[in-house]
Amino acid sequence: MVQVDVPVAFAIGTIFADAAHKQLQTGRPEYFWRTLLLNNIYQIFFFSWIPVYFILNYFGWETTHMWWHEDSVMAYPFFIPIFMVIFFSAVNGGFLLGNRLVKQGQVKTNRIVYLVILIYSGIWIFGQVGSTFRLGTFKQWQAGAAPWFYEDPTFLAMLIFSLLIWGVPLAIFVRKLVKEGSRLATR
């Protein structure tokens, strides 16, 4: 769901800044660039491909029926390139905001930013299950015949797989940054 993917990408940028807040508060440029690089590596290998996969294969699930009337993203040749630019702008914008807040000593404010985004995302998903829990083409949406997500075994398997590929590495990256920060604080 593009309406969630972009804000979550922004939130993850702020999460990276939070995880590395002790390093970033030193003001040393190598910590800034290293954390920014790790944020982008994570996004490239563990997150950005997930919404693209679902946009290409399950265009209706991406709640695109709310704004787009064709049944496939192929009808919109600039959709994915524009999405990728917006996605990575959000990724890096989130990190830059998080870095600024952390350097100003506002770690709690940074945490509020990503928590609000994650709460919004949960509300978006679970507040309209009639849309977000259904797959199908625009025509199926109009006819009220869009199937539930769990009725498609390939979709369900990819959803579970992508959540694991997204969540486990995020936890690993965050833990690594936090550990580095704690070692920095004890020096």
When divided into structural domains, the chain yields a total of 1
Give the pLDDT confidence of 27-81 residue by residue, as tens digits.
999 999 999 999 999 999 999 999 999 999 988 786 666 677 788 889 899 999 9
What is the residue type of 53?
Answer: Y
Give the pLDDT confidence of 72-114 residue by residue, as tens digits.
889 899 999 999 999 999 999 999 999 999 999 999 999 999 9
Q: What is the pTM (predicted TM-score) of this model?
A: 0.92
Domain that holds residue 71: 2-186
Task: Give the integer Cα–Cα distance in Å for 59 and 55.
Answer: 5
Task: Give the integer Cα–Cα distance in Å for 103 and 57.
Answer: 41
* Pure H helices in the chain: 2-19, 21-24, 29-42, 49-57, 79-103, 107-126, 129-132, 138-143, 153-186
Show Cβ contacts of residue 10 under 8 Å, excluding neighbours closer than 6 positions.
Answer: 90, 91, 93, 94, 117
Task: Give the integer Cα–Cα distance in Å for 95 and 23.
Answer: 14
Under a CB-based contact definition with an 8 Å cutoff, are residues 134 and 149 in contact? yes
